[in-house]
Amino acid sequence: MLFEVINLFVENEFIELKSELTKEIKKEIVAFANSKGGTIYIGINDDGTIKGLKNISRDIEALSSMIREGIKSDLSLYTNIEIQKYDDKDVIVLKIMNAPNKPYYLADKGIKSSGVFFRHGNVSAPASDEMIKNLIKENHDSFESEISSNQNLNFTYLENVFQNKNIVFNENKYKTLNLLNVGNYYTNLALLLSDECPFSIKCAIFEGNNKITFKDRKEFSGSLIKQLEETLEYLNIVNRISGKIIDYKRVDIRDYPEYAIRETVLNAIIHRLSEASDN
């Protein structure tokens, strides 16, 4: 009786085999991320035979560093590294998701054909300039919709705002407001509205009509909602009031209309967000 040996490991559109870990693997990772995702087996020869890895701890540490530092944008959330045994030999199984922030590229090459790859059959091929432009156009999300690099967020101030309005603020509201995406990751919008918002608003009062000498300055941090409210309160204090008699009545007039200051501050915030989204 004849028995046929079936090779379980064959390279295709979704599988790549590597006998050992080398820097070239970054190209394969980028290609899968820019395509439909895939799996890389490290420790298996091209013909499907199991070779195994001698120092798997070192290789995992090096692979993790390559993903974090050698590829842009950050792919850490869209990759999973596991150790599996085949024929009693250690093999690294790296799974790459079909990631959202395309195009991904080699950090030392940039967004050009030498740095951007895609999966074509069982080959990782360089992307043309036209393909790169299409990837950018199809997959570019607004800044506030992208996944936040900080996932340890708190919303104490925002919760108080909702409570004062008698509005329930729970996980369903997070998703309704796009603070959480479909994968339950906090977005950059959540980061901006959280207590951990890394940005701040700076205000200064200058002497005269130039920016050489200032009389006072303030910086506001925390949730963007908190910053906005505190900025408007501060500007309201320094916005002087003078009196004027109109039709026998005293009328208080501010140096600058309150609505104009409010619109100016809001426009400045929106303009800065637009710049962040473009970058």
Question: Is the same domain home to 62 and 109?
Answer: yes
Total domain count, the chain: 3
- Least confident range from 12-21, 175-184, 221-230: namely 175-184
Look at residue 276 and tell me whether its pLDDT is greater than 70.
no
- Is 7 a domain residue? no
Q: Which amino acid is at 171?
A: E
8 belongs to a structural domain: no
Residue 3 confidence (pLDDT) above 50: no
Q: For 87-124, what is each residue's pLDDT tens digit?
A: 899 999 999 998 888 889 999 998 889 999 999 999 99
* 122 alpha-carbon distance from chain centroid: 30
189 and 215 in a single domain? The answer is no
Query: Do 134 and 152 reside in the same domain of the chain?
Result: no
Q: Is residue 2 in a domain? A: no
Amino acid 135 reads: L
Residue 4 has a pLDDT of 40
Query: At a CB cut-off of 8 Å and minimum separation 6, what does 248 contact?
Result: none
In a domain, 9, yes or no: no
Could you tell me the residue range of the domain that residue 261 belongs to? 201-278
Residue type, 79: T
What CATH code is carried by the domain that includes residue 55?
Answer: 3.30.950.30
Cα–Cα distance for residue pair 45/63, rounded to 1 Å: 18
Residue 2 CA to residue 97 CA, distance in Å, equals 40
pLDDT bracket for residue 139 (50, 70, 90): low
Q: Residue 149's CB: how many other CB atoms inside 10 A? A: 13
pLDDT tens for each residue of 200-245: 999 888 877 777 777 888 999 999 999 999 999 998 888 888 777 7
Tokens 């079936």, located at residue: 6
Range in 85-99, 167-181, 196-210, 242-256 with the lowest mean pLDDT: 242-256
